Amino acid sequence: MKIISGLLILIAYHQTGEALMYWSGWPIPGSVIGMLLLLLSLMLFNKPPKPIKHSAEFLLRHLSLLFVPAGVGMMLLFDLIADQWVAMLLSLVLSTVISLAFTAWLMQFILKFMGRPDHE
C-alpha cells in the first residue's frame, strides 16, 4: 500500500508541474517543474517520506522494464537508424563528452563555492 500511495504522490507532483506549465506558459516541461517541486519538498523534509522512498525503490528495482518501449521503438525504426548511424553515433559521443565536461566543471565550481578543497 505504501508503494501505491507513494506513486500517487509522485503523480500528483507531476500533474502539479504540468498544471503550472499550462497556466504560466513557461517553456519548461511540466515534468521538470514537478521534479523541482519534489526536490524543494524533499529539501524541506531533510529525508524522503516512507511512501515516496518505497515507491522510488520499487521503480529503481524495475527500471529495466521502462527501457522496453524504447527498445521496441528502435527496432521499428531500424531502417532509419541504419541510414543515419554515423550522425547518431557522433551526436551521442559529442553530447556525452560535453555532459561529462560540464558536470566536472560544475562540481569544481560547487566545491570552490562551498570552500572545500578539491582533494580530501
Distance CA 112, CA 120 (A): 13
Question: Three-state DSSP class for 52?
Answer: helix
What the block records as the C-alpha cell of 91 is: 551526436
Judged on CB neighbours under 10 Å (0-12, 13-18, 19+), 20 is middle
User: Is 120 a residue whose pLDDT tops 70?
Assistant: no
Distance CA 48, CA 54 (A): 10
Give percent above pLDDT 90 in the chain: 65
**What does the pLDDT look like over 50-105, one tens digit per residue?**
999 999 999 999 999 988 998 898 888 888 888 999 999 999 999 999 999 999 99
What pLDDT does residue 74 have? 86
Average pLDDT value over all residues in the chain: 91
Sign of CA dihedral 21, 92, 105, 114: positive
